[in-house]
Structure 1
Amino acid sequence: MFKSAIDAESHLAILEPRHAAELYQLVDESRDSIGEWLAFPKKTNKIEDSKIFIEKSLKRLTENNGYWAGIWHKEKMAGSIGFLYMDWNTRKTEIGYWLGDNFKGKGLATKAVSRFILHAFHNLDLNKVEINAARTNEKIRAIPERLGFQQEGIIRDYEYINGEYRDRVVYGLLKEEWSALSDHLRKG
């Protein structure tokens, strides 16, 4: 299926049922760190759970309503990234992403998010990309900030994870902002 290089050693590919065991293993190995910020690791208790997630993602892809891809580094699954939905009326989407413990600090998430932004604006002709992150998750928040997103607000007590409410920071990037930033970077 779809495969896109993000650097010489890393690529993105649409998650397929054949990836379920590898996805489950990665979640299981990084369950505590991922689960600190996201709810899904507590719901991922066997390979079948990952398979069901992948099948739902493929269904959303066929319905033109988002999808998830795997992030691979040196031929090992490193994490996942996805378009959480597609709002075709307002031409916007939200990107979600996570990495396994052994793959953090390599720039993989930033490169994957950049590839998804490029795809959203140039191939899908969307007008806006959003990223939401827990207010206290500084590492995840650094990615949209590094890529030129604007902080648009904070949703208080957005979710309840690990016995506490978490605020969400909403970031947005418009197509015209990305184009201007891309032009500026190309000119040096």
Structure 2
Amino acid sequence: MVDDQMIGCVTAYYEDGDLKRWLEVGIIIYQSHQWQKGIGKAALSKWIDQLWKTTDLPHLGLTTWSGNTRMIHLAESLGMKQEACVRKVRYWQDQYWDSVKYGILRKSD
């Protein structure tokens, strides 16, 4: 929420269905004029903190595409590491892009 307006959302979904041991996160900021203001970083950081508190999982993941340089920068700025790159599997605007997977491990106490 910014100025009492919902400008986006964070998500989490299990890649492995009912097993519920492989959790991926996501974020969307609806309007481009809200991008590059630190809103997404703050929201995703808080969301990841919340997921660490409410799950016992050792890993959280995020998947994007190679053309989404802002999301790649965001993931890396939150300490996520690139874990996989599946080449030329995303198709957008008459061009193939890589699918890029990022992840972060729970910090040990």
The structure whose Rg is larger is 1
Partners of 1:143 and 1:74 lie apart in 2 by: 23
- Kept in 2, the 8 Å contact 1:91–1:125? The answer is no
Aligned-residue offset at 1:131:
1.0
RMSD over equivalenced CA pairs, Å: 2.0
Partners of 1:152 and 1:173 lie apart in 2 by: 9
**Greater helix proportion:** 1
- Kept in 2, the 8 Å contact 1:92–1:127? The answer is no
Which has the bigger relative contact order, CA under 8 A and spacing at least 6? 2
**Greater strand proportion:** 2
Partners of 1:133 and 1:86 lie apart in 2 by: 14
Q: Which amino acid aligns with 1:174?
A: L
Partner deviation per Cα, 1:74-117 (whole Å, 9 max, x = no partner) = 11121222113264646331111121212112211111111121
Give 2:82's aligned residue: 151
Give 2:69's aligned residue: 138
Give 1:75's aligned residue: 4
Mark the runs of 5 or more structure 1 residues left unpaired by the alignment: 1-71, 181-188
Mark the runs of 5 or more structure 2 residues left unpaired by the alignment: none
Q: 2:26 aligns with which of 92, 96, 103?
A: 96
Q: 2:58 aligns with which of 127, 139, 153?
A: 127
- Kept in 2, the 8 Å contact 1:156–1:167? The answer is yes
- Kept in 2, the 8 Å contact 1:84–1:93? The answer is yes
Q: Kindly, what percent of the aligned residue pairs are identical? A: 27
1:31-70 residue pairs with structure 2 within 5 A?
none
TM-score normalised to the size of structure 2?
A: 0.84
In the comparison of the two structures, how many residue pairs are matched? 107
